[in-house]
Structure 1
Amino acid sequence: MTSPIGAISSLTSIGGLDKVSSVAGLSGSTPATNANEAVNGPSESFTSMLSKGLESVQATQSKADNLAVQAAEGTLQDPAQYTMAATEAQLAQQLTLAVRNKAVEAFQEIMRMQA
């Protein structure tokens, strides 16, 4: 199972199919690696993974903002770069909001449970 935060951090570049496959959980990791992680647990804490994911979303949005300024000034050579960066930032933000909404729903469901 691919962690949502890992999926967010893999959205740093739209350029290659390797990023798409890692978002879908289809990266070329071996079963031995996955079995090792299942036995020993993840090597990073949830907090650090969440922090890295959010930093990645922020970096993606900053890149899109910088390219938007360059496009407005007329210094951007290829306007498609801005279009791709803006789309990437939008998708990263949508994924982040979806993960947040699911976490809030899970918390609310836990709070509804009777002890």
Structure 2
Amino acid sequence: MTSPIGALGAVGGLSGVGGVGGVSGAGALTGTDKASGPNTDFAGMLSKGLESVQAAQTKAGDLAVQVANGTLQDPAQYTMAATEAGLGLQLTMAIRNKAVEAFQEIMRMQA
């Protein structure tokens, strides 16, 4: 039997979700809160990460409209924003899938 937590750490080289710092906009996932130091609230950290992904998708959508209107000077901005939003969504889905797998594994355990 594999450890669900160990499998989560193997996704994309994640080490406590702080490994996604290369994706701009995902800085909320680093686990630090400026007011109180290290963030120990998993739900809060997850919420910030989802907000970050949503913001990246919104930015990509806005830039897509600008590309369609012909008002965007540098189409590479849209390409980068769309790639960032796609990677954020992939990471979110991978975390969700691992959480579901962990839940299913817990449910299979005998009391």
The answer, yes or no, to whether TM exceeds 0.5 is: yes
Give CA-to-partner distance per residue, 1:8-57, whole Å, 9 cap, x none: 576225xxxxx8xxx9x9xxxxxxxxxxxxxxxx5331111011000000
Return the match for 2:107 from 84, 88, 111: 111
| CA spacing shift, 1:58–1:52, aligned 2, 3 Å | same
Q: Name the amino acid aligned to 2:97.
A: N
Aligned to 2:23: 11
Q: Which has the higher contact order (CA 8 A, sep 6+)?
A: 1
Q: Percent identity?
A: 66
1:84: which partner in 2? 80
Unaligned runs of 5+ in 2: 1-13, 31-37
What are the ranges of 5 or more consecutive residues in structure 1 without an aligned counterpart? Answer: 14-18, 26-41
Letter in 1 for 2:24: T
Decide whether the 8 Å contact of 2:60 with 2:82 is kept in 1. yes
Mapped partners of 1:58, 1:10: distance in 2 = 17
Of 36, 52, 64, the residue aligned with 2:60 is 64
Q: What is the CA-CA distance between 1:77 and the residue it aligns to?
A: 0.2
CA contact (8 A) 2:39 2:45 kept: no
Q: CA deviation at 1:7?
A: 4.4
| Shift, 1:2, TM fit | 2.3
**Whole-Å Cα distance in 2 between the matches of residues 62 and 9 of structure 1?**
19
When the two structures are superposed, what TM-score results if normalisation uses the length of structure 1?
A: 0.68
Separation (CA, whole Å) in 2 of partners of 1:80 and 1:50: 29
Residue equivalent to 2:49: 53
Structure 1 counterpart of 2:70, which letter?
G
| Contact 1:12/1:56 (<8 A) preserved | no
Query: What TM-score do you get using the length of structure 2 for normalisation?
Result: 0.71
1: CA distance, partners of 2:86 / 2:51:
15
Count of residues in Structure 1 that have an aligned counterpart in Structure 2? 89
